[in-house]
Amino acid sequence: MGMLSEFKEFAMKGNVVDLAIGVIIGGAFGKIVSSFIDDVITPLLLKPALEAANLSKIEDLTILGGVKYGMFLSAIINFVIVAFVLFLLIKGINAAKKKEAPAPAAPAGPTQEELLAEIRDLLKK
C-alpha cells in the first residue's frame, strides 16, 4: 500500500494536474489553430500567392524519383504561417490585458552627501 499511496500523492499534486489540463487544452487549441490556418488563412492568402508563383501543387514537387521536398516546403510555409498567426494572437491578448497601475515610487531618502554630512556631524560631537 505504501507505493500506491505515494503514487496517489504524486498524481494529485497541483503541478501534475495543471500539466495534464495544459496538455489537454493545448491539444484542443492546436486543433483550433490548425483549422484557422487550413480553412481561413490558406484559402485567403496562401493559395492565391502560390498560384501567382505557379506553385499551386507544391506538395507534388519531388526530386530523385521520390523525395517529396514539396511536402517539406509546404510544412515550412505552414509553420511560418502558424507562428505568425500565434504571434498576432498573443500580441492581441497582451494588448487587451488591463494595464496595471505602476507601483507608487518609494519616498526619496537622503542623498549620499546628506548621510555623509550627518555622519560627520555625529562624529564631531
What is d(CA 119, CA 66) in angstroms, rounded to the nearest whole number?
A: 84
CATH classification of 8-96, choosing from 1.10.287.3510, 1.10.1060.10, 3.40.50.300, 1.10.1200.120? Answer: 1.10.1200.120
Provide the CB-side half-sphere exposure for 117 (13 A, CA).
5
- Considering the entire predicted model, what is its pTM? 0.45
CA 106 and chain centroid, separation: 34
Is the pLDDT at 54 greater than 70? The verdict is no
Give the type of residue at 1.
Answer: M
Where do we find the cell 488563412?
Answer: 41
pLDDT digits over 29-42, tens only?
A: 888 878 887 788 77
Sign of CA dihedral 65, 69, 74, 79: positive
Q: What is the DSSP letter of 44?
A: I
Q: Domain residue spans in the chain?
A: 8-96
